Amino acid sequence: MGTMTFLRRCAATLALLILTLAGKAQAADLKIGLLLSQTGPLSSYGVPMRSAAEYAAKVVNDSGGINGQKLVVLTEDDTSNPATFLNGLNRLIDKEKVLALVGPITSGFFQAGAPIVQEAGLSMISPTATAPNLTSGNPAAFRNNPSEDVNIPSLLKLMKSTHPEIRSIAVIYDNKEAADKVIGGLYEKLAPQVGWQVQSVTTFLSGQLNYSDIVAKSLRGKPDVVAVAAHAEDAANVARELRRQGYKNIILGGTPTVSQDYIKIGGEAANDTYVVVPYYHGAKTEQNARFVAGYTKFTGRTVVDPWEASTFESIGMIAQAMREAHVTGDPAKVVAERNAIQGQLAATHGYPGLIGNINFDKERVAEKPAVIIRVQDGTWQAL
């Protein structure tokens, strides 16, 4: 055999080997895109949620992956900005060709992205969005968080029974965030149904620094209870101002308030804040004990926020759907596999969540247990 012939044969063999390995690597990775804020005001949710997603992928892979294939999560930072969010979404869909998405954090971003994911045929599960009717009419839109119009009535009912002296409420909410507007509106609408007079409804815009005038306006009529619908940072600052102006009673919140940041920033002012949430880190179930132990080891975080838990469950449910749909991750089949995952997800029933089983209802909203928690002695505690 001549030298040139030998070298040509070596090159051909090497090329074939590379193509085979590359093909194998592509088929090996099943990608889920994460649309979570890593910077900006929402990063206090997004950063730990990313950790939870990465931990969930590790748990799946440590158990053998999905039908032998590795699960990979790819994060796009939406910088808490709608334009960046849409750019990131398109990049995950078109360039990375992910098979499903987890995120975004806010209902507003979710509404913006929903038509795009519907057109692309892939599923998007938000672990945190809570506005009602968010997923209606869009087969690609899922939410692993019950609607606030289910959560708030249960909280009001509890307050009515345990605090019969409450007769009036003042509502303060962030007029910039969709979920907070919805929650504020729900308190305003539902409070009279438990016999409370709505004394005032005061709005503000998140990111402002001066809360003293809106709080003064809210406390003018000396309400028995104040409801604050805002994300953690703003809610904490409102709570601090409420206490500074002499308000000592209960604060009712919404699920966007629940974060360790609310307590970190609010300090003692956050005590006696009540919220209904779909997860509590102290819940005594086997799944939760296993999750908390492993997650603490993975991240060093000893107290898990509901959003981290919801993200972990969301990745788990997508992994189950991928398993049942027998996806391969073949880029040539991405459209068909996205649709298959969507069908399996919509049929999710009895998925073992961290504090109870999860089903998706016909609007693709998670039906799952909820728990009322309050801030006491600097931590969130179940009643």
Partner 1 sequence: MDSLEFFLQQLGNGIILGSAYALVAIGLTLVFGVLGVINLAQGEILVAGAFAGLVCLERGAGLGVALLAGGSAAALLGVLVERLALRPLPASADPHIRMVSTIGVAVIIQQVVSQVFSARQHPYPTPPLLEGRVMIGPVQFDFVNLFIFALAALLMLALTYLIQRTKLGVAIRAVAESPRTAAMMGINSDLIVPLVFAVSSALAGVAGVLVGMYFNNVGPFMGIPIGLKALAAVIFGGLGSIGGAAVASVLIGVAEVMTVAYVASSWRDAVAFAIIIAALLLRPGGLFGSKLAEKV
The SS3 call for residue 31 is strand
Encoded tokens for 214: 């809106």
Among 175, 299, 328, 359, binds partner 1 (CB under 8 A): 175
Tokens, residue 83 = 């334009």
Based on the shown chain and the rule CB under 8 A, indicate whether residue 197 belongs to the binding site for partner 1.
no
**Stretch of 233-241, 271-279, 287-295, 326-334 contacting partner 1, by CB under 8 A:** 233-241
Could you tell me if 71 and 32 are in contact, meaning their C-beta atoms sit under 8 angstroms apart?
yes
Could you give the angle at the alpha carbon of 357 between the alpha carbons of 300 and 98, nearest 5°? 65
- Rounded Cα–Cα distance for residues 109 and 131 (Å): 11
Q: Does 168 bind partner 1 (CB under 8 A)?
A: no
Q: Is 374 in the site for partner 1 (CB under 8 A)?
A: no
CB 107 within 8 A of CB 82: no
306 in Cβ contact with 337 (< 8 Å): no
216 binds partner 1 (CB under 8 A): yes
Q: Give strand ranges (E) for 329-376.
A: 351-352, 357-360, 366-367, 371-376
Minimum CB distance to partner 1, residue 47 (Å): 12
- Alpha carbons 182 and 122: distance in angstroms, whole number: 27
User: Which of the ranges 12-20, 64-72, 126-134, 205-213 carries the binding residues for partner 1, by CB under 8 A?
Assistant: 205-213
Does the footprint of partner 1 cover residue 37 (CB under 8 A)?
no
Determine if 267 is a binding residue for partner 1 (CB under 8 A).
Answer: yes
In the list 44, 128, 147, 310, the residue contacting partner 1 (rule: CB under 8 A) is 44
CA dihedral 344, 350, 351, 354 (to 10 degrees): 160
Among 15, 16, 21, 205, binds partner 1 (CB under 8 A): 205
Least CB distance to partner 1 at residue 175 (A):
6
CB of 37 to partner 1, least distance (A): 11
Residue 265 engages partner 1 in binding (rule: CB under 8 A): yes
> What SS3 class is residue 135?
coil
CB of 245 to partner 1, least distance (A): 8
Which distant-in-sequence residues (6+ apart) come within 8 Å of 300 by Cβ? none
How far apart (Å, rounded) are the C-alpha atoms in residues 324 and 134? 26
When the beta carbons of 114 and 236 are compared against partner 1, the nearer one is 236
Stretch that binds partner 1, among 163-171, 212-220, 271-279, 298-306 (CB under 8 A): 212-220
Q: Given the rule CB under 8 A, which residues bind partner 1?
A: 39-41, 44, 175, 202-205, 207-214, 216-217, 220-222, 233, 236-237, 240-241, 244, 246, 265, 267
